[in-house]
Amino acid sequence: MKVDFNSAATTALADATLGSPVVIEALGLDELEAAWVEAVGLSRGARVVVLRRAPLGGPLHVRTSDGAELAVARSLARAITVSAVLEGGAT
Amino acid sequence: MTAPATGRESTREVAKAEGGDALVAMIGRPNCGKSSLFNAVTGARAHVGNFPGVTVDVLEADVALPSGVRARIADLPGVYSVEATVDPSTDEGIARAFLDDERVRVVVLILDPLQLRLGLNLARELAARKLPMVVCISQRDVAESQGLRVDVTALRRALGCPVVLVSARDASARGAVLGAIDEALRDGRRADSLSDWTPASLASEAVQDVGNASERRRRARTSTIDKFLLNPWLGPPLFVGLMTTLFALVFLVADPASQAMDAVVSALRGLVTRALGEGAVASFFADGVLGGAGTVVAFMPQIVILTAALELLESSGYLARGAFLVDRVFRALGLGGRSFVPLLMGHACAVPAIAATRIVRDPRERLAAILVLPLTTCSARLPTYALVLATFFAERSALFRASVFVSLYGIGAATALIASFALRKTVVRGRSLPLLMEMPAYRLPQGRVLAQKVWGSAKNFLREVGTVIVGVSAVLWLLLSVPSPGRAAAAGARPIESSVAAAVGQVVEPLTRHAGFDWRINVGLIGSFGAREVMVGTLGVIYGIEGAEDDSAPLADKLRAARRADGTPAYSARTGLSLLAFFVIACQCMSTVAAIRRETKSLKWPAFVVGYTYALAYVAAVATYQVSGLLGIS
């Protein structure tokens, strides 16, 4: 898994702050699974916002910059590395 | 139209030269409007859902293209990618295998103008396969109402294939799509045009205003509703409440409707008996064939209500929210959030619930849900539960009987969940795909689509499940009515006492005695193999009670009064408990078995369900009978 420590602090998507935009940095998944996740709409470089988390460790409700909304399993969200978007950053 | 290809032939000659109808695959992301467009183009009744990955069966329809060529259009499952196929049995795997078929001549890619960039990823994958392609930008009305302008010329230039902008609600959509298919067939395979564009660049060139104001407006309403429906404190109770209401509706509305249909069939049986007299032939048609048909039509109101409810939940977008809320809990049991709905529906009737498992995307989770659904307490178990409670617990308080009733539901649900946990560790082992699904914006369901869906499922049920039920009912009639070889019916004895079923019942009595079942109960169990509610009627026949299925009180009296040869009571409360244990678990329902065969497309899984539920039911009945004996219950 590639993580660029020079950029803003990275974290797992599962731990991202609610309502704050983040950028997907890396997908810690095997190749085929990563390709599928990207095809659904969570690709490297995509900007997403976590809207809410389901109770009891359930899935995350995420909105992508394309306007799509997705339910993402918590386990999957732990494998996705994101970094915070600075205010005024490009979409 | 695009420039003609070199060495141009007429489309008709091309199709003729390659033999047969041209096969056209329609493909697109879930929720892109593909199924509505398929309906509009073919006039067929494809399922239209607002829940990702609904289309499991590949629907096909034959159409005539403007050039006169016949084409067969296939509606593939909604997919995100045809290259990233994690598992061959997922929708992606099914679509990919279909595209690998060399008979596919043209691919029609449906793109949602509101999510063009994501859709163009799929266009890139298809372009790399070098299949002649038609790109259909769907939902033109939605795009226009939101101020989006789609530049068809730019798309056509970049993609190098026919591009049409349509709305499934327009009468002109059919002609536009079929004309474009003609064009693609004529032009044939194209040069790779991948190098000229990226999904992001082309999307921003072709659609103005994507992801901005219009998208925010579309989402604003959904966000407001989600604040309530997905609230951590309000959401789960609202979901459970809604599902419970639906469940209650099936009982309140479907039950009287089922009884009314039953009455119609009874009247028909009366007519047959009057017309054909009292002989064996009349009995075969009246009791065997029409009796089976009665079972089928009794299911119809439930099928209709559940199908309509499921379609409303699905197309409104709420089903995805329900799955979001309960996914974690169900995942612990080896199922996913989407399995909740079929499992709840199973408490009314397993047959539509098994069809409803199509909303479960993961193939293993879906199979596990199908295999445990027969364990949920469906409404057909209730007549037998009522008979057993009235027979053996008549002297107990109404409260006691009510609580036994409720616990039977609990035991059924718990058994199903434990079984799914066990099956996912054994026969349906394997990792499930983690939940990653679209949460579609809320939409108002369309009445026309709802009506089509309900009509389609009722028709399919009658055709596919109905024939099996009527067939099995006829066979069971033979078992219960034809005298066993070498056993002449004693004068005055009822034919059932010398039937093949009675012979079998007596042969297995040494085994079933441990559960407290004598040969008469065994015959009842054989009779109820096809449909569990027949138990009461069959026992009625054995004890010579007419119309036991309508009023079981006289039968309950007879059962209480029944004596063994030595004069001791034939049955006790222990028999009642062990019968209940048996009925909670056994899959005594041919309709369910037929539905499992239909959905798994195999004979192995229905056979497995019958095998494991009967074995488990026997063990549970013996355990209940023996343990209750040790506890001194009599």
**pLDDT > 90 in chain A, percent:** 49
B97 Cβ under 8 Å from any chain A Cβ: no
Average pLDDT over chain B, rounded to an integer = 80
Rounded to whole angstroms, how far apart are CA atoms B160 and B179?
16
Q: Which long-range contacts (CB under 8 A, 24 or more apart) does A24-27 make?
A: A24/A48, A24/A80, A24/A81, A24/A82, A25/A81, A25/A82, A25/A83, A26/A1, A26/A2, A26/A80, A26/A81, A27/A79, A27/A80, A27/A81
* Spatial separation of the C-alpha atoms in residues B326 and B329, rounded to whole Å: 6
The distance of B412 to chain A (nearest Cα, Å) reads 25
Closest C-alpha to B93, from A70, A29, A73, A36: A36
Nearest by Cα to B124 from B138, B140, B107: B107
Residue B251's pLDDT band, with cuts at 50, 70 and 90, is low
Q: Which residues does chain B have within 8 Å of residue A51's beta carbon, measured at their own beta carbons?
A: 223, 226
Q: Do A70 and B436 touch (CB under 8 A)?
A: yes
Residue B142, pLDDT above cutoff 80:
no
Concatenated DSSP letters of B388-405: HHHHHSTTS-HHHHHHHH
Among B110-119, B344-353, B439-448, name the most confident range. B110-119
Distance CA B294, CA B470 (A): 9
pLDDT at B200 over 90: no
Range 111-170 of B in CB contact (< 8 A) with A: 114-115, 117-118, 121-122
Specify the amino acid at residue B360: V
User: For residue B428, what pLDDT is reported?
Assistant: 86
Could you read off the pLDDT of B292-321 as tens digits, one per residue?
Answer: 777 667 767 777 887 788 778 877 888 889
**pLDDT higher than threshold 90 for residue B218:** no
Question: Taking each helix axis from N to C terminus, what angle separates B398-425 and B573-585, rounded to the nearest 10 degrees?
Answer: 40
What is the pLDDT confidence band of residue B107, given thresholds at 50, 70 and 90? Answer: very high
Looking at the partner chain, which of A32, A42, A71 has a beta carbon nearest the beta carbon of B324? A71
pLDDT confidence bin for B517, thresholds 50/70/90: very high
Residues of B in Cβ contact (< 8 Å) with A66: 115, 117-118, 210-211
Q: Can you read off the two tokens belonging to residue B188? A: 């044939």
- The pLDDT score that the predictor gives to residue B508 is 92
Q: Do B132 and B106 form a contact (C-beta atoms < 8 A)?
A: yes
Residues B384/B581, Cβ–Cβ less than 8 Å:
no
Q: What distance in Å separates the CA atoms of residue B248 and residue A84, rounded to the nearest whole number?
A: 47
pLDDT at A21: 93
Look at residue B459 and give its three-state secondary structure.
Answer: helix
Phi-psi region of B6 (alpha: psi -120 to 50; beta: other; left: phi over 0): beta
Band of pLDDT at residue A22, cut at 50, 70 and 90? very high
pLDDT class of B100 with cuts at 50, 70, 90: confident
What b/e readout covers B487-497, taking b as 16+ CB neighbours within 10 angstroms? Answer: eeeeeeeeebb
Mean pLDDT of B416-437: 87
Q: Which of A4-13, B117-126, B513-522 has the lowest mean pLDDT?
A: A4-13
**pLDDT mean over B62-70:** 87
| A71 chain-B contacts, CB cut-off 8 A | 320, 323-324, 327, 435-439
Q: Which residues contact B199 (CB under 8 A, 6 or more apart)?
A: B117, B118, B120, B121, B123, B124
pLDDT of amino acid B8: 39
- pLDDT in the model for residue A18: 93
For residue B597, what are the CA distances in angstroms to A7, B114, B351, B609, B616?
A: 55, 39, 11, 10, 21
Residue that wins the pLDDT comparison between B493 and B614: B614
- Does the pTM exceed 0.90? no
Give the count of beta carbons closer than 10 Å to the beta carbon of residue B100. 10
pLDDT at B489 over 60: no
DSSP, collapsed to helix, strand or coil, labels residue B463 as helix
Q: Do B81 and A63 touch (CB under 8 A)?
A: no
Q: Cβ distance B232 to B328 under 8 Å?
A: no
Q: Give phi and psi for B60, each to the nearest 5.
A: -130, 155
Q: Output Rg (C-alpha) for chain A, integer angstroms.
A: 12
CA B273 to chain centre: 36
Question: What residue type is assigned to position B625 of the chain?
Answer: Y
**Region B507-513: what's the mean pLDDT?**
93
* Chain B CB contacts of A40 below 8 Å: 80, 436, 438
Q: Rounded mean pLDDT of A51-75?
A: 89
Confirm or reject contact between B236 and chain A (CB < 8 A). Answer: yes
At B189, is the pLDDT very low, low, confident or very high (cuts 50, 70, 90)? low
CB contact (8 A) between residue A70 and residue B81:
no
